[in-house]
């Protein structure tokens, strides 16, 4: 066994030498049953015919190595028996801290004492989002449009569970007693709970249906990608290595989102074309075809994009400046940026609303790191939208999905409290409220989607509102029975 291949001899598959650290192994083994209890309580809930999801055999991939190629193995697994593991990307020899005031020093293999609290907080916030998303998605299997999609949902869910493991490993291995307490609390908070909510806003919102799920995996998991990329730069090497491996899994989640929204748009555009409807606002007729009208897709997009932008924190942030200065959290593609990596003199243009208009205002770059990461994120979001629009234009329909303005519907930062339309027009609150139903999903939209989305359990069949994917998963064809009921 090389150091980077996975040891399956302990309860938790790992490549961190758990078998040689009995104290840590015992601490994690004590956490395991509580984690499983959480998974059974708060993970996927529902039935295929009479069989609970948790008893079904699901065609899942599990990590068997952390090398670039061939790290994933596909097999039928019952979700509670999934081998959640602790997997770090290979250690880079002689890695140095790439930014901040310790730039050029050897990367830390243990927690730097002066930054312990800040580091712990970053790890806890990251960890908190993972179980939160599983909680948000727990009922979606009940309305899955196909076995293919149900399997993708469950894959995303078990991997978010593994990402929780990744953060819990760091807490338990490096933060002693406080770390163990934080690990317990990660299993106690609940998405949307009034008394014990999850830490960040968007993770307390609902993911009530599959359009939301795909938009969440496209937009919110992409925030995950950006934040993990920034943490992968960390001078605290174990965090960096954990995040580098998590990014490999995150890519699949965004694939699920990008293709999922694309397939919904395609089903709508093709159904409209076939029925000879070219007015995208002919809502009743379009909905009667069993597909989702494009303006509703836009309203949902507006919601998920704006909620996700809030996850970047305030545009100007001393927390972010401190995390960068300390060498804990870098920028997106830090090592590829051509500057001093300390930001001693530089400025960054932050979008602000001043004197009645949106303007770029130069502020010290160190304070603008959240704004910068958010701007990189917005650029990264554009590609999928362009591809979705191609399905619409190919069907000859005049309609374009678009990202709303960054100031639209914001609750955190510079634009909090400003009434901004998706196009970026600033208005007053009353006018904005009177148009809310044009901007964001309505109660009528919710009822329509709830009626539309019913579980499909015939292998190879897809609900009317979503086109089949181009190909299957893990070497199997599209019509493969990705989720099976044992002994049938």
Range in contact with ligand BYC (rule: CB under 6 A) among 49-57, 222-230, 234-242, 448-456: 222-230
Which residue from 15, 155, 370, 421 is in contact with ligand BYC, where contact means CB under 6 A? 370
Q: Does 472 bind ligand BYC (CB under 6 A)?
A: no
Report, in Å, the least distance between residue 414 CB and ligand BYC: 10
Q: Considering the complex, state which of residue 164 and residue 401 has its C-beta at the smaller distance from ligand BYC.
A: 164
Instruction: Please state the closest distance from residue 370 (CB atom) to ligand BYC, in A.
Output: 5
Kindly state whether residue 312 participates in binding ligand BYC, applying the rule CB under 6 A: yes
- Residue 264 binds ligand BYC (CB under 6 A): no
Q: For ligand BYC, which residue of 166, 264, 320, 368 counts as binding (CB under 6 A)?
A: 320
Question: Do 278 and 167 contact (CB within 8 A), yes or no?
Answer: no
Parallel, antiparallel or unpaired: strands 426-427 and 419-420 = antiparallel
* Residue whose beta carbon is closest to ligand BYC: 313
- Smallest distance, ligand BYC to C-beta of residue 392, A: 27
β-pairing, 483-484 with 57-63? antiparallel
Residue 130 is a binding residue for ligand BYC (CB under 6 A): yes
Query: Hey, which residues between 386 and 415 contact ligand BYC (CB under 6 A)?
Result: 412
Nearest C-alpha neighbor of 63 from the set 132, 149, 161: 161
Question: Of 60-68, 188-196, 223-231, 354-362, which part binds ligand BYC (CB under 6 A)?
Answer: 223-231
Q: Contact region for ligand BYC (CB under 6 A) — 38-46, 124-132, 188-196, 332-340?
A: 124-132
Compare residues 48 and 373 and give the one whose CB is closer to ligand BYC.
373
Compute the distance between CA of residue 45 and CA of residue 53 in angstroms, rounded to an integer.
6
Which residues ranging from 30 to 59 are in contact with ligand BYC (CB under 6 A)? none
Q: Shortest gap between Cβ of 411 and ligand BYC (angstroms)?
A: 8
Residues in the chain: 488
CB contact at 8 A, 191 and 38:
no
Contact between 314 and ligand BYC by CB under 6 A: the answer reads yes
Residue closer to ligand BYC, measured from CB, 411 or 454: 411
Q: CB of residue 233 vs ligand BYC: minimum separation in angstroms? A: 12
Using DSSP bridges, classify how beta strands 347-354 and 72-78 pair: parallel, antiparallel or unpaired. Answer: unpaired
Query: Under the criterion CB under 6 A, does residue 223 sit at the interface with ligand BYC?
Result: yes
Check residue 172 for interaction with ligand BYC (CB under 6 A): no
Q: Does the protein bind ligand BYC through residue 133 (CB under 6 A)? A: yes
Which residues make beta-bridge pairs with 14?
A: 7, 86
If one asks whether residue 364 binds ligand BYC (CB under 6 A), the answer comes out as: no
Considering only the stretches 57-65, 78-86, 174-182, 219-227, report the one whose residues sit in contact with ligand BYC under the rule CB under 6 A. 219-227
**Does 155 interact with ligand BYC (rule: CB under 6 A)?**
no
Residue 205 interacting with ligand BYC (CB under 6 A): no
- By beta-carbon proximity to ligand BYC, the closer residue of 287 and 374 is 374
Nearest CA among 264, 317, 320, 311 for reference residue 292: 264
Among 311, 401, 420, 456, binds ligand BYC (CB under 6 A): 311
Give a three-class secondary structure readout of the chain: CCCCECECCCCCCECCCHHHCHHHHHHHHHHHHHHHHHHHHHCCCCEECCEEHHHCEEEEEEECECCCCCCEEEEEEEHHHCCCCECCCCCCCCCECCCCCCCCCECECCCCHHHHHHHHHHHHHHHHHHHHHHHHCCCHHHHCCCHHHHHHHHHHHHHHHHHHHHHHHHHHHHCHHHHHHHHHHHCCCCCCCCCCCCCCHHHHCCCCCHHHHHHHHHHHHHHHHHHHHHHHCCCEHHHHHHHHHHHHHHHHHHHHHHHHHHHHHHHHHHHHHHHCCCCCCCHHHHHCCCCCCHHHHHHHHHHHHHHHHHHHCCCCCHHHHHHHHCCCCCCCCHHHCCCCCCCCCCEEEEEEEECCEEEEEEEEHHHHHHHHHHHHHHHHHHHHHHHHHHHHHHCCCCCCCCCCCCCCCCCCCCCCCCEECCCCCEECHHHHHHCHHHHCCCHHHHHHHHHHCCCCCCCCCCCCCCCCCCCCCCCCCCCCCCEECCCC
Among 46-54, 189-197, 220-228, 376-384, the segment contacting ligand BYC (CB under 6 A): 220-228
- Tell me if 260 contacts ligand BYC by CB under 6 A: no
Number of residues that bind ligand BYC (CB under 6 A): 25
Of 7, 135, 159, 160, the one binding ligand BYC by CB under 6 A: 160
Nearer to ligand BYC, 300 or 329 (CB): 329
Angle 77-83-86 (CA atoms, 0-180°, nearest 5)?
155
Q: Of the listed pieces 36-44, 143-151, 304-312, 358-366, which binds ligand BYC according to CB under 6 A?
A: 304-312
With CB under 6 A as the contact rule, the residue among 15, 207, 220, 367 that binds ligand BYC is: 220
Q: Does 439 bind ligand BYC (CB under 6 A)?
A: no
When asked if residue 325 is in the footprint of ligand BYC (CB under 6 A), the reply is: no
Residues in touch with ligand BYC (CB under 6 A)? 122, 125-126, 129-130, 133, 160, 200-201, 220-221, 223-224, 227, 310-314, 317, 319-320, 329, 370, 412
């Amino acid at each position: 066994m090389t150091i980077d291949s996975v040891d399956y001899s302990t309860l938790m598959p790992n490549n961190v030498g758990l078998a040689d650290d009995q104290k840590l192994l015992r601490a994690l083994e004590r956490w395991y049953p509580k984690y499983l209890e959480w998974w059974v309580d708060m993970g996927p809930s529902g039935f295929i015919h009479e069989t609970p999801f948790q008893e079904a055999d699901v065609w899942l991939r599990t990590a068997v190595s952390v090398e670039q190629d061939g790290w994933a193995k596909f097999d039928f697994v019952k979700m509670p028996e999934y081998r959640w593991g602790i997997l770090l990307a290979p250690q880079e020899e002689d890695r140095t801290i790439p930014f901040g005031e310790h730039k050029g020093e050897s990367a830390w293999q243990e927690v730097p004492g002066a930054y312990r609290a800040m580091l712990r907080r970053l790890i806890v916030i990251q960890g908190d989002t993972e179980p939160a998303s599983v909680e948000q998605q727990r009922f979606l299997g009940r309305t899955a449009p196909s076995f293919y999609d149900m399997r993708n949902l469950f894959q995303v869910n078990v991997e978010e569970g593994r990402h929780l493991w990744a953060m819990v490993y760091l807490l338990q291995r490096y933060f002693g007693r406080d770390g163990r307490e934080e690990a317990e609390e990660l299993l106690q908070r609940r998405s949307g709970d009034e008394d014990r909510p999850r830490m960040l806003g968007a993770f307390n919102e609902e993911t009530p249906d599959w359009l939301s799920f795909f938009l969440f995996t496209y937009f919110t998991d992409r925030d995950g990608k950006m934040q993990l990329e920034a943490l992968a730069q960390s001078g605290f090497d174990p965090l960096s290595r954990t995040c580098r491996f998590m990014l490999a899994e995150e890519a699949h989640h965004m694939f699920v989102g990008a293709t999922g929204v694309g397939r919904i748009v395609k089903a709508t555009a093709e159904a409209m074309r076939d029925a000879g409807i070219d007015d995208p606002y002919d809502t009743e007729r379009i909905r009667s075809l069993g597909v989702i009208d494009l303006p509703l897709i836009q309203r949902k997009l507006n919601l998920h994009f704006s909620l996700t932008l809030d996850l970047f924190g305030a545009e100007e942030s001393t927390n972010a400046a401190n995390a960068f200065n300390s060498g804990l959290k870098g920028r997106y593609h830090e090592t590829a940026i051509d500057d001093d990596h300390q930001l001693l003199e530089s400025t960054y243009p932050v979008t602000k609303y001043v004197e009645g208009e949106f303007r770029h205002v130069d502020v010290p770059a160190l304070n603008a790191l959240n704004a910068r990461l958010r701007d990189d994120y917005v650029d990264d979001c554009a590609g999928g939208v362009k591809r979705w629009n191609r399905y619409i234009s190919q069907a000859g329909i005049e309609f374009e999905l678009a990202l709303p303005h960054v100031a639209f519907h914001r609750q955190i930062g510079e634009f909090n409290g400003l009434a901004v339309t998706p196009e970026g027009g600033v208005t007053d609150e009353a006018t904005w409220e009177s148009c809310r139903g044009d901007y964001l999903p309505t109660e009528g939209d919710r009822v329509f989607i709830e009626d539309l989305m019913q579980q499909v359990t015939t292998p190879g069949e897809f609900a009317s509102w979503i086109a089949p994917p181009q190909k299957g998963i893990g070497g199997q064809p599209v019509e493969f029975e990705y989720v099976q009921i044992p002994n049938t």
